[in-house]
Chain A
Amino acid sequence: MLEFISQPWPWYLSGFMIALIMFALLFFGKTFGFSSNLRTICAMSGAGKASDFFQFDWKKQTWNLLFLMGSVIGGFIAHTFMNNDQPVAISDDTIADLKTLGFKVQKGLQPDEIFNTFTLKSVLILITGGLFVGFGSRWAGGCTSGHAISGLSNLQLPSLIAVVGFFIGGLIMTHLLFPIIFNSPGAL
């Protein structure tokens, strides 16, 4: 059992559990959508003074902020008590591709080259990446949970369009922009 817990979990278990969480939130009278929290935090911080987009009763979203808090705790628990300390189990092809871009796949789930250095470049990458995710998820009206999981489960065409958009953006970044951003092995 301990062995199982510390290994990476298979996709079907994870997919099943995510569906279960969606069920639980529906049963509690809510919906599964994580990026709304970003809007709520802006509203809490007084962004309503700058735009009416943030003028809403954010206290009604407290449940989702609690879910957010829980997810931070869940990351801590999994990392501290259920960790096998192995490198991420990605395919050899991906390891080879990333190597040509200057990434070494080491222990941990995030690359040190971006998340564990404090160069101007890595800081810009992290802030820009986050900015695009925040801007894009509000423009599209949802993120992976709200559109790809909740929206597609309700067979919503807008969600399918959004997911196609996620992939267009992701493929452009990965295949066209990564070779420019990470243009040589030492570029980081």
Chain B
Amino acid sequence: MKGLKFILAGIIFGIIMTKSEAVSWYRIQEMFRFQSFQMYGIIGTAVALGVGMVLLMKITGFTDFHGNYIVFHPKEKGVKRYLFGGIVFGLGWALCGACPGPMFVSLGMGYFTMLLVIGGALLGTFLYGLMRSKLPH
């Protein structure tokens, strides 16, 4: 089955996020209070390795398993959407202690009230779709 590898990647992601406690509301509070290195270490290590990886892929013309060159699309330029959108995201992230990935990982852990968070996130995404043309980007 072609999709199995994505399910497997997701399973590994879920296990890592749980076992390093990155899905924890408490850990997000600790991060925003600058009281531990854990979250910074996780994101920092991933980014440091990621920068090297992307650079190497660009230099060597790395191909994916279909044999296509891996193309990195630059993000659209701008400030407003990233800053304002980011702030709204951050307000929610600190309040419910979960960004989109961890919402679903926590649900798997048996925190069924995460369904309220997920429902809210879907509603938020839908509202953005409705209001998009009226927002600064």
Contact = CB atoms under 8 A, between A and B. Distances in A.
Interface of A: 5, 8-19, 21-30, 34-35, 37-39, 41-42, 47, 50-51, 53-54, 62-64, 66-79, 82, 88-91, 93-94, 97-98, 105, 109-111, 114-116, 118, 122-123, 125-145, 147-159, 161-175, 177-178, 181
A148 B47 contact: yes
B7 A15 contact: no
A123 to B, nearest CB: 6
B58 to A, nearest CB: 9
Nearest to A17: B16
Interface in B84-110: 84-101, 103-110
Contacts of A13: 16, 20
A9 to B, nearest CB: 4
A28 B119 contact: no
A38 B121 CA distance: 7
B130 A66 contact: no
B127 A97 contact: no
Contact of A11 (B11, B29, B45, B76): B45
Given A29-B64, A70-B14, A42 B81 contact: no
B46 A71 contact: no
A68 B121 contact: no
B6 A39 contact: no
Nearest to B28: A170
B113 interface: yes
A149 B33 CA distance: 21
B92 A130 contact: yes
A140 B116 contact: no
B49 A78 contact: no
A104 B74 CA distance: 44
27 contacts: A9-B16, A14-B17, A14-B20, A14-B22, A21-B13, A53-B129, A53-B132, A67-B7, A77-B108, A78-B19, A89-B21, A98-B29, A118-B113, A126-B120, A128-B95, A130-B117, A132-B95, A134-B92, A136-B87, A148-B43, A148-B47, A149-B46, A166-B90, A173-B93, A174-B29, A174-B32, A178-B94
Contacts of B65: 27-29
A153 B104 CA distance: 24
A15 B92 contact: no
A90 B38 CA distance: 9
B30 A71 contact: no
B89 A21 contact: no
A140 B80 CA distance: 9
A169 B90 contact: yes
Contacts of B127: 131, 134-135
Given A34-B100, A174-B94, A134 B121 contact: yes
A74 B17 contact: yes
